[in-house]
Amino acid sequence: MGTSSRIGLRRLLLVALLAAANLSLWLIPGPVVEYIARDRPTLLGRYSVERLTGIIALAIFTLIALYIAFGARERRRGRIARVLISLVVSLAMIGAGEWALRRHPPTPRYLIEPAYRVRAPHYRAAFPFRDQPEADRSYPRRPPGFPTEEIVLEMDARGFRNPDGIERAEIVAIGDSFVEAPHVTSEELWTTRLGKKLGVTVYNMGTSGENPGGYFHKLEHFAPELAPQTIVVMLYEGNDFRGYKRNEKPEGIRGSLLRPRSREVLVDLFGPLRADAVVPDAERVDWLPVGVPSDAGTTWYAFSPRKVGELFRTEEEIHAQRGWNQVRDGIERAARFCREQGIDLVIAYAPVKPHVILPLVRQQLDPDVLLAFTKIQRKSLPEAKRELTDGPAFLEALMANLDTEERATREVCEAAGVGFVSLTAPLREAIAEGRQAYFTYDQHWTSVGHQVVGEELWKFFQSRRP
């Protein structure tokens, strides 16, 4: 076989390999039903952001490889040089863009410290909060969510959602977005409502995205300055029990300011395309949002598979979780600190949406569909239960385990001499009455939910007054 024939064969093989790689990425869709269940962007109706980014990168690489391979031999060095120059120029432009953004960065939403996070001092943002799926491609049936609210977020000098100038507070509330609550107006916050009903100052020390490690560090760091009589730490049943580590500022590509903007461009361009296409395996998600009927009408609620799967744990399985043990140790540490400071510590337990909703809709659930939905995120299930196929047995065990983590948390609080407030029953009662306590598509409480929580905490404090 001649040299030219061998070169031709190599080129043909290169084309075949690159074509196969491109076609495999283009033709095989991602797990669309998982993207929908988790409310993640689906681009072109079939790919995740990461998948489409890989497709685009491979397509560019393919064009470059073919451009070099199919040039005349005497011109190949010139083509390689032009490609290298283009790459250098592109990298230089990216670097210049990154440098320009860092020279004039947007106002940071958070200040990330190793032990905790806060908003920037005097941070302010105004925006409408719309209760709708974040992703363009979503559930086949999408009833309207809670009415839109015009939100103004204003932080004080410490970076928390309070009026400026508060030096002392009878009650300090610590937690994540269930305390800061960037989804409702300042007047509707449960901390604001509680303060008005008790006639005291309640200082809101919530920060969205915070974890229990940050809660307990803030308790020790800021409490002496505010001199409260009581500290309320709100534990969210969702991510607060998943485990945490010290905050680290992202570096390298993860810390790039261009990266999130590039992602936004991709989502804005390709997210709406084919967003209404037929959903494969739709029966796993088309029962959501689930409706809770009442005399006042029907309210609608959606939630992720992970939040259902994490409720399906026995007490033994919960105690084996790193996150659970971190929370337990944190409560005990906070209890010791508060006793030394003469502060009353109270733990408020904020349940995830399915913990509240599922008992209300049990009769309308198809157990096999619920199990199939939960297994979309199999890793949320205990390892020994990931291959379950018996839907009715799953539903029965799930209902039996719903309160297990809450009960275990209550027991830790009682052993440590810490007050405990469960918000599960009052939220469930409100929803059964037709009051929409959670947003339809977001995991947080509506203004109605904040009213319910404020009332329940007020009752708790009233019961402790002499």
What is the secondary structure of 135-181 as a DSSP string? SSS--SS----SPPEEEEEE--TTSSSS-TT----SEEEEESHHHH-
Give the C-alpha separation, 272 to 249, whole Å.
32
* Nearest in space to 421 (alpha carbons), one of 458, 446, 451, 450: 458
Section 104-122 average pLDDT: 83
Quick: pLDDT tens for 254-298. Answer: 777 788 889 999 999 999 999 999 988 899 999 999 999 999 999
- The encoded tokens of residue 315 equal 């007490």
The mean pLDDT of 298-310, rounded to a whole number, is 96
Q: What is the pLDDT of residues 377-411, one digit of tens each?
A: 999 888 888 899 999 999 999 999 999 999 999 99
CA neighbours closer than 13 Å in the CB half-sphere of residue 234: 29
DSSP state of 121: T
Tell whether the model's pLDDT for residue 5 goes beyond 70: no
Residue range 188-208: mean pLDDT, rounded = 97
In this prediction, residue 444 carries a pLDDT of: 98
Taking the C-alpha atoms of residue 358 and residue 370, their distance in angstroms, rounded to an integer, is 10
Q: 112: left (phi > 0), else alpha (psi -120 to 50), else beta?
A: beta
Considering the entire predicted model, what is its pTM? Answer: 0.92
Give residue 14's pLDDT band: very low, low, confident or very high (50, 70, 90).
low
The CB-side HSE value for 310 (13 A sphere, CA atoms) comes to 23
- For residue 289, whether the previous peptide bond is cis, meaning omega lies within 30 degrees of 0, is yes
Q: Are 118 and 207 in contact (CB under 8 A)?
A: yes
- Residue found under tokens 């489409």: 52
Q: Which helix (H) or strand (E) holds 234?
A: strand 230-236
Write the secondary structure of 38-98 as one string of H (helix), E (strand) and C (coil). Answer: CCCCCECCCECHHHHHHHHHHHHHHHHHHHHHCCCHHHHHHHHHHHHHHHHHHHHHHHHHH
Query: Is the pLDDT reported for residue 345 higher than 70?
Result: yes
Q: Is the pLDDT of residue 241 over 60?
A: yes
Is residue 420 within a helix (H) or strand (E), and if so which, with residue range?
A: strand 419-422
Q: With 80 as the cut, is the pLDDT of residue 4 above it?
A: no
For the chain, the domains span 3-103, 111-242+278-464
**What is the number of helices (H) and of strands (E) in the chain?**
17, 11
Structural tokens at position 389: 């196929």
Euclidean distance between CA atoms 312 and 379, whole angstroms: 12
Residues 6+ apart with CB under 8 A from 228: 169, 170, 171, 172, 203, 343
CATH superfamily label, 111-242+278-464: SGNH hydrolase (3.40.50.1110)
Token output for 456: 């329940």
pLDDT at residue 99, rounded to an integer: 82
Distance from C-alpha of 51 to C-alpha of 48, rounded to nearest angstrom: 5
- Name the β-bridge partners of 118: 111
Mean pLDDT of the chain: 91
Residue 334, classified by CB atoms within 10 Å of its CB into exposed (0-12), middle (13-18) or buried (19+), is buried
Rounded to the nearest 10 degrees, what angle do helices 447-464 and 190-198 cross at? 40
Residues 58, 18: Cα–Cα separation, whole Å: 9
Beta pairing partners, 150? 128
pLDDT score recorded for residue 178: 98
CA distance 403 to 115: 30
- On the question of pLDDT at 250 being above 70, the answer is no
Q: Are 311 and 354 in contact (CB under 8 A)?
A: yes
Q: Where are the alpha helices (DSSP H) in 234-381?
A: 258-270, 305-309, 315-319, 322-341, 353-357, 367-374
Which residue's entry shows tokens 């309308």?
364
Confidence of residue 337 (pLDDT cuts 50, 70, 90): very high
